[in-house]
Amino acid sequence: MKIDLPIAIIFDCQDHKSVHGFQVRNFIPRVCTIRFDSEKNDLPAELFSAYPPENAPGYPNSDNGDAVLAALSTDEYRRIVDRAKRNPFDYGVGTEAERETAQAAADAEHAQDGPND
């Protein structure tokens, strides 16, 4: 399953300012997208500079995002993939119709498993 995962990156500008006697640090937040395939580990992860990735300058070009995924623990990675499988409309890559079909299948599977899974 191809997954588009929004991630927040915060750039610390090391720009300390004094506001009313308090030291304030200047941070620049950016929401980016990591796109990866949870079933094909031989494909590199893609990093886009915006979320959704279609808003990124130069889309469909991307940077390699493998280093970002490598920073996740195995448990964190599994939790992300499980969440994406339960909510393919939110995280899945594809047309709106494909995501709606995948979401209906996930909802049916979740209903079979019960509300406590």
pLDDT for position 48: 93
What's the domain count of the chain?
1
* Model-wide pTM > 0.85: no
Give tens-digit pLDDT for 65-102.
999 899 999 999 999 999 888 888 888 888 888 888 98
Could you tell me the residue range of the domain that residue 75 belongs to?
2-113
Give tens-digit pLDDT for 22-79.
666 677 788 999 999 998 888 899 999 999 899 888 888 899 999 989 999 999 999 9
- Contact by Cβ (8 Å): 34, 46: yes
pLDDT for position 15: 63
**What gap in Å lies between CA 46 and CA 52, rounded to an integer?**
13
